[in-house]
Amino acid sequence: MRLTASKLPGQIIKQLLPAYSPAEPPAVPGSQPVAAGGSPPAADERLGMRPQAARGAQPALAKSSSSGEGAGSGRAPQASPYGSLINKEAQRLAKFERILSAPIVDIAALRDASWSGIPPQCRMTAWQQLLGYLPVNREWRAATLQRKRREYSEAVPAFFDVDDSERSEYQRAIFHQILIDVPRTCSSSALFQHKTVQRSLERILYIWALRHPASGYVQGINDLVLPFFLVFLTGALGTHAARGADPGAPGEAPARGAAPPPPLLVSEAELDVDAIPAELLADVEADSYWCLSKLLNVIQDHYTFAQPGIQRMVFRLKEIVQRIDRPLHAHLASQGIQYIQFAFRWMNCLLMRELALPMISRMWDTYLAEGAADIDSPLSAAKGSPADESFAVLHVYVCAALLLKWSDKLQQMQFQELVMFLQHLPTAEWELAELEELLSQAYLWKELYHNSQAHLQSQTE
**Residues 6 or more apart in contact with residue 253 via CB below 8 angstroms:** 138, 139, 141, 142, 260
Asked whether 159 and 267 are in contact (CB, 8 A), the reply is no
CA dihedral 163, 168, 174, 176 (to 10 degrees): 50
Lowest mean pLDDT among 35-39, 104-108, 129-133: 35-39
pLDDT digits (tens, 9 = 90+) for 418-437: 999 999 999 999 999 999 99
What pLDDT is stored for residue 11 in this prediction?
A: 35
- 206 and 181 Cβ atoms separated by less than 8 Å: no
Residue 197, burial from CB neighbour count under 10 angstroms (0-12, 13-18, 19+): buried
> What does pLDDT average to over the chain?
80
Q: Per-residue confidence at 251, pLDDT binned at 50, 70, 90?
A: very low
Strand partners, 271: 49
Q: Structure pTM?
A: 0.78
In this prediction, residues 262-281 reach a mean pLDDT of 82
Dihedral sign, CA of 56, 229, 386, 342? positive
Q: Which domains does the chain have, with CATH numbers?
A: 138-298 (no CATH), 308-460 (1.10.472.80)
Region 304-317: mean pLDDT is 93
Q: What is the mean pLDDT of residues 194-223?
A: 95
pLDDT for 113 beyond 80: yes
Write the burial class of residue 217 (CB in 10 Å: 0-12 exposed, 13-18 middle, 19+ buried): buried
Residues of the chain with pLDDT > 70: what percent? 71
Q: pLDDT grade, residue 156 (50/70/90)?
A: very high
Is the per-residue pLDDT at 82 higher than 60? no
Max CA separation in the chain (angstroms): 82
Q: What is the DSSP letter of 62?
A: S
Give the residue-averaged pLDDT of 394-420. Answer: 97
Q: Which range has the worst mean pLDDT, 112-116, 137-141, 239-243? A: 239-243
What's the average model confidence in pLDDT over 172-183? 96
Q: Please tell me the distance from the alpha carbon of residue 163 to that of residue 265, in angstroms, as a whole number.
A: 41
pLDDT at 453: 59
What's the pLDDT score for residue 3? 46
Confidence tier at 157 by pLDDT (50, 70, 90): very high
Q: Note the pLDDT of residue 258.
A: 53
Side chain identity, residue 318: K
